Chain A
Amino acid sequence: MTHLTTKQVLQFVDGTLDYAAQAQCTSHLAVCPQCRKEVDLQKAIAKVSRTQPLVRASATLVRQVMARVAPNRQVTWKTKLVDNLGNVIAMTLVLAFMGYAITSPSLFHVQQETPQQSVIVKTVVDAYNSVAKSISERANVATQKVALAPDSERSKALLLTLVSFLILISLDQFILKKYVGLKTKH
Chain B
Amino acid sequence: MPDQDYAVIQRILGGDKKAYAELVDRHKDRAMTLAMKMLRNGEDAEEALQDAFIRAFNALPKFEWKSSFSTWFYRIVYNVCASELSKRSDVHHVSIQDDADEAQTERLVSSDIPPDLALESSELNAIILEEIEKLPPAYGPTFTLFFVQDMSYEEIVEVTSLPLGTVKARLFRARTLLREAVLNRIGHIREGETEEKVA
Q: Which A positions have Cβ atoms within 8 angstroms of B?
A: 2-7, 9-10, 34-35, 37-38, 40-46, 48-50, 52-58, 61-62, 64-66, 68-70, 149-153
A55 touching B32, Cβ below 8 Å? yes
Residue from B50, B107, B109 having most chain A Cβ neighbours under 10 A: B109
From A6, A62, A151, give the contact of B105 (CB < 8 A). Answer: A6
9 pairs, A vs B, C-beta closer than 8 Å = A6-B109, A9-B109, A10-B172, A49-B148, A49-B178, A55-B35, A57-B29, A65-B24, A66-B20
**Which residue of B is nearest A39, CB measured?**
B109
B113 within 8 A of A: yes
SS class, residues of chain B in contact with chain A: helix
Using Cβ atoms and an 8 Å threshold, which residues of chain B touch A52? Answer: 129, 132, 147-148
B17 touching A56, Cβ below 8 Å? no
Q: Which B positions have Cβ atoms within 8 angstroms of A?
A: 14-18, 20-21, 24-25, 28-33, 35-36, 42, 45-46, 49-50, 53-54, 57-58, 104-109, 111, 113, 115, 117, 119-120, 124-125, 128-129, 132, 143, 147-148, 150, 172, 175-176, 178-179, 182
Given contacts A7-B106, A49-B132, A62-B25, 9 further A-B contacts (CB under 8 A): A5-B105, A41-B117, A49-B128, A57-B32, A61-B53, A62-B24, A65-B20, A69-B57, A153-B15
Using Cβ atoms and an 8 Å threshold, which residues of chain A touch B29? Answer: 54-57
How many angstroms from the CA of A152 to the CA of B20 in the assembled complex? 15
How many angstroms from the CA of A61 to the CA of B53 in the assembled complex? 10
How many angstroms from the CA of A2 to the CA of B107 in the assembled complex? 11
What's the minimum C-beta distance from A171 to chain B, rounded to whole angstroms?
31
How many angstroms from the CA of A68 to the CA of B17 in the assembled complex? 11
From A48, A62, A150, A152, give the contact of B28 (CB < 8 A). Answer: A62
B119 touching A56, Cβ below 8 Å? no
B113 touching A37, Cβ below 8 Å? yes
A41 touching B105, Cβ below 8 Å? no
